[in-house]
């Protein structure tokens, strides 16, 4: 019997072409380069976008002046202050502020909600031609995205009257790049003078325009106001003279505002495409006011040393890149060219205020800064015998600064400086066997100065940075990645916080050497971990009256280690809905923190944890910060102060600390619709 004839098929419906956008990760530019995906970034709980930086291998962040001031960042032996040595980009716009009065490269990341961070790409060193100003210790690029489809609404309450509302929307038919999010947060703080509030919103839209062009539009707005307890002399805490939670000057704190708009056009990449380009103009408006008193009554025994700094800045800029494939040694050979431009208009003022009646005692700074950084770069990547990938590039940065000092005796003292920096960069990547690569990298970068510190006509207004790195990367895919690297960085003229003058002072050449190891594993779909250890030896390179070659640089910790682990197993199914547990742990270790006068700062071991359950549309979780409730000091500084008005001032520099938070609990309820 013959088999039955197949049923007649209906004529096929014409199939609409589906555009598939493949985003592959770039090949690593250095052995220690890391891409931290969402699951690792959110394994442990984080209070802000700045906190999230702690997940980057080698990064240690502290907050010594209130929940609204930019964190102080340490990376690979660098005390990057508030961002002077770490280039940070968020959503396609630079975060570092040029010539910010409080600190060069000031990077306030409080406008970033942790939930909308899709990934963080960390490039330690200066090996990529796209790394520019502030990339001394390295660069970090944060991409925004939100993956939960539909509406999300969550409410958090917690210790110290913490309350937060988070709202987000992500249309299911769009990539996670398209979303809108809102946050309102307030806290009384864990001690006197630590209250803070912030509001923030980010909206991002990704649209395919035509067949192979993609448009991303992003806007974000943020404002925050915070009080600050400042720092306290450690000796007085240890003697019991003051409570460690005390705020010695209750007038400290500030406020911060930010608005940014980014528009990015990229040509979609597919396997057939020879060319790809992207252009991304951006605009940023920033406003910062900080009120600090780090020295009490040391300078002015009657009115106190409180100062107020205001910094207003408008930034326009753009990035542009063009890459073309060539078939020289391999079909994947590529030449890339690009430009970067940024202009900043900054008005800044610093006054000393009476602690009694807020009267202006002294005008310290009243300046207008105009700065422009224009860069061009080109790089070529060749792959030989399918195993040896060589990438070499050159970046040329031109920097122009103009400063008008309105406080100078002859008001109107204006000066300008301009210089160029040539930055060669190169990486060699050898594929030893499947999944195992050996890499060696080299690059030069620069650290730009505060515009007001430049003399008129200076032609080389920056510090030269030279970096080397060698290491290995091993991966079996998303489930396991291991990288280890040794690095060495040199600066021709570094700045170190001088304890006698209580400000950064030039100290001549310095160097940093060390190694870093990172293991990222996803043994099962519900378990992820990332552990990293970084050891750095940072020292003076030569001798002078104040130090010997080989003496340690103060402040940057020698050991920074971090582990982020998260488990999200499905427990059971109830009413056809999966019940999923979410548990996460973040462990941080900071040790061997050199301080001036051969002292060591206190080691820090912190554990943050989260535990919750999600029943499809509903999630309840609890976050613990400082789970072990350890007494710790996140900021440690050595300088002279006198907070006891009328008493004989101690002029020999002493240790001052800012207290870290005690055990803190947040409870969050979230609805996903």
Residues 539-578 that bind other proteins (CB under 8 A): 539-540, 545-548, 550-554, 558-559, 561-563, 565
* Intra-chain end-to-end CA distance of the chain, in Å: 56
DSSP-based three-state secondary structure for 40: helix
43/202 with CB nearer other proteins: 43
Taking the least distance from each CB to other proteins, the nearer of 362 and 464 is 464
Least distance from C-beta 234 to other proteins, angstroms?
13
Distance of CA 352 to the CA centre of its chain: 30
Question: What is the spatial distance between Cα 378 and Cα 382, in angstroms, rounded to a whole number?
Answer: 14
59 binds other proteins (CB under 8 A): no
296: left (phi over 0), alpha (psi -120 to 50) or beta: left
Q: Which helix (H) or strand (E) holds 135?
A: none
Judged by CB under 8 A, does residue 500 bind other proteins? yes
Among 479, 486, 513, 580, which residue interacts with other proteins (rule: CB under 8 A)?
479
Q: Binding to other proteins (CB under 8 A): which residues in 196-255?
A: none
Interface of this chain with other proteins, residues 602 to 621, rule: CB under 8 A? 603, 605
- CA torsion, ordered 234, 240, 244, 249, to nearest 10 deg: -80
Q: What are phi and psi of 116, to 5 degrees?
A: -100, 10
Instruction: Choose, by CB under 8 A, the member of 266, 529, 626, 670 that binds other proteins.
Output: 529
The span of 10-18, 69-77, 257-265, 530-538 binding other proteins (CB under 8 A) equals 530-538
Q: Is 525 in the site for other proteins (CB under 8 A)?
A: no
Find the binder of other proteins among 217, 261, 265, 466 (CB under 8 A): 466
Burial grade of 474 (CB within 10 A; 0-12, 13-18, 19 or more): middle
Residues 293 and 305: beta-carbon distance below 8 Å? yes
- 275 half-sphere exposure, CB direction, 13 A CA radius: 8
Among residues 60, 194, 51, the alpha carbon closest in space to that of 109 is found at 51
CA distance 120 to 99: 25
Q: For residues 328-357, which are near other proteins according to CB under 8 A?
A: 328-329
> Shortest gap between Cβ of 583 and other proteins (angstroms)?
14
Judged by beta carbon, residue 255 or residue 300, the one nearer other proteins is: 300
**At closest approach, how far in Å is the CB of 378 from other proteins?**
14
- Do the beta carbons of residue 504 and residue 479 sit within 8 Å? no
Phi-psi region of 374 (alpha: psi -120 to 50; beta: other; left: phi over 0): beta
Pick one of 10, 172, 271, 409: the residue that binds other proteins (CB under 8 A). Answer: 409
Which CB atom, from 135 or from 552, has the smaller least distance to other proteins?
552
Of residues 256 through 295, those in contact with other proteins by CB under 8 A are none
Does 513 contact other proteins by CB under 8 A? Answer: no
Whichever of 168 and 563 has its CB closer to other proteins, that residue is 563
- What is the helix (H) or strand (E) element at residue 449, kind and residue range? none
What is the phi-psi region of residue 647: left when phi exceeds 0, alpha when psi lies from -120 to 50, beta otherwise?
Answer: beta
Instruction: State the number of binding residues for other proteins (CB under 8 A).
Output: 86
Looking at the Cβ atoms of 15 and 545, the one nearer to other proteins is 545
Residue 536 vs 670, nearer CB to other proteins: 536
Nearest CA to 280 among 228, 322, 330?
Answer: 322
- Are 376 and 339 a contacting pair, CB within 8 Å? yes
Task: Identify the residue among 269, 325, 332, 415 touching other proteins (CB under 8 A).
Answer: 415
Pair of tokens at residue 633: 């000091």
Which lies closer to other proteins via its Cβ, residue 236 or residue 522? 522
Q: Which residue, 86 or 563, has its beta carbon nearer to other proteins?
A: 563
The CA distance from 541 to 553, in Å, is 10
Residue 502 engages other proteins in binding (rule: CB under 8 A): no
The one segment of 141-149, 251-259, 269-277, 421-429 that binds other proteins by CB under 8 A: 421-429
| Strand 138-144 versus strand 86-90 pairing type | parallel
Q: Which of 13, 16, 271, 410 binds other proteins (CB under 8 A)?
A: 410
Contacts (CB under 8 A) with other proteins, residues 66-125: none
Residue with structure tokens 């950084």? 373
CA pair distance 533, 485, nearest whole angstrom: 11
Question: Given the rule CB under 8 A, which of 6-14, 238-246, 516-524, 614-622 is the region that contacts other proteins?
Answer: 516-524
Joined together, the tokens standing for residue 414 give: 């204006």
Beta pairing, strands 436-447 & 463-477 = antiparallel
List binders of other proteins among 426-455 (CB under 8 A). Answer: 426, 428, 442, 444, 452-455
Of residues 25, 476, 630, 645, which one binds other proteins by CB under 8 A?
Answer: 476
């Amino acid at each position: 019997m013959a088999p039955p004839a197949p049923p007649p098929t209906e004529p096929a419906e014409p199939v609409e072409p589906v555009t598939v956008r493949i985003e592959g990760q770039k090949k690593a530019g250095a052995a220690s380069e890391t891409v931290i995906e969402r699951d690792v970034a959110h394994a442990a709980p984080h209070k802000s976008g700045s906190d999230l930086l702690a997940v980057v291998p080698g990064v240690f962040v502290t907050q010594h002046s209130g929940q609204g001031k930019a964190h102080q960042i340490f990376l690979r032996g660098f005390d990057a202050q508030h961002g002077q040595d770490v280039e940070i980009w968020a959503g396609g716009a630079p975060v570092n502020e040029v010539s910010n009065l409080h600190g060069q490269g000031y990077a306030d990341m409080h406008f970033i909600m942790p939930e909308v961070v899709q990934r963080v790409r960390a490039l330690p060193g200066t090996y990529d031609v796209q790394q520019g100003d502030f990339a001394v210790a390295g660069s970090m690029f944060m991409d925004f995205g939100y993956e939960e489809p539909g509406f999300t609404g969550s409410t958090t309450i917690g210790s110290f009257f913490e309350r937060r509302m988070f709202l987000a929307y992500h249309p299911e038919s769009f990539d996670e790049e398209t979303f809108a999010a809102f946050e309102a947060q307030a806290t009384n703080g864990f001690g006197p003078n630590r209250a803070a509030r912030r509001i923030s919103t980010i909206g991002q839209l990704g649209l395919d325009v035509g067949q192979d062009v993609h448009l991303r539009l992003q806007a974000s707005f943020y404002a925050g106001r915070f009080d600050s307890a400042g720092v306290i002399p450690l000796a007085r805490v240890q003697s019991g003279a003051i409570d460690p939670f005390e705020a010695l000057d209750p007038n400290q704190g500030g406020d911060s505002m930010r608005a940014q708009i980014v528009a990015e056009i990229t040509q979609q990449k597919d396997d057939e495409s020879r060319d790809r380009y992207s252009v991304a103009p951006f605009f940023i408006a920033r406003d910062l006011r900080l009120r600090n008193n780090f020295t009490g009554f040391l300078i002015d025994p009657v009115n106190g040393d409180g100062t107020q700094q205001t910094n207003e800045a408008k930034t326009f800029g753009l990035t542009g890149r063009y890459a073309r494939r060539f078939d020289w040694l391999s079909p994947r050979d590529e030449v890339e060219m690009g430009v970067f431009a940024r202009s900043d208009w900054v008005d800044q003022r610093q006054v000393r205020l009476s602690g009694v009646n807020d009267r202006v005692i002294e005008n310290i700074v009243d300046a207008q800064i105009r700065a422009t950084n224009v860069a061009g770069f080109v790089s070529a990547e060749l792959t030989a015998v399918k195993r040896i990938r060589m990438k070499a590039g050159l970046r040329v940065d031109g920097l122009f600064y103009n400063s008008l000092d309105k406080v100078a005796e002859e008001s109107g003292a204006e000066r300008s400086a301009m210089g160029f920096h040539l930055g060669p960069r190169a990486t060699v990547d050898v594929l030893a066997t499947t999944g195992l690569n050996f890499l060696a990298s080299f690059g030069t970068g620069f650290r730009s100065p505060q515009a007001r510190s430049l003399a008129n006509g200076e032609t080389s207004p920056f510090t030269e940075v030279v970096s080397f790195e060698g290491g290995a990367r091993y991966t079996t895919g998303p489930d396991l990645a291991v990288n280890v690297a040794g690095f060495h960085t040199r600066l021709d003229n570094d700045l170190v916080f001088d304890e006698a003058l209580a400000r950064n002072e030039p100290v001549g050449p310095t160097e940093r050497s060390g190694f870093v190891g990172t293991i990222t594993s996803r043994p099962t779909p519900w378990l992820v971990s990332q552990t990293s250890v970084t050891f750095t030896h940072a020292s003076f390179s030569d001798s002078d009256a104040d130090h010997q070659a080989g003496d340690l640089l103060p402040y940057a910790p020698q050991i920074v280690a971090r582990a982020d682990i998260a488990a999200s197993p499905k427990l059971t199914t109830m009413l056809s809905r999966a019940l999923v547990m979410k548990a996460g742990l973040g462990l941080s270790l900071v040790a061997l923190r050199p301080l001036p006068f051969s002292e060591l700062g206190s080691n820090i071991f912190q554990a943050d944890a989260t535990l919750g359950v999600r029943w499809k549309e509903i999630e309840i979780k609890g976050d613990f910060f400082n789970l072990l409730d350890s007494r710790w000091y996140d900021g440690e500084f050595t300088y002279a102060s006198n907070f006891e008005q009328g008493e004989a001032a101690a002029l020999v520099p002493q240790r001052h600390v800012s207290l870290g938070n005690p055990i803190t609990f947040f409870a969050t309820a979230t609805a996903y619709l």
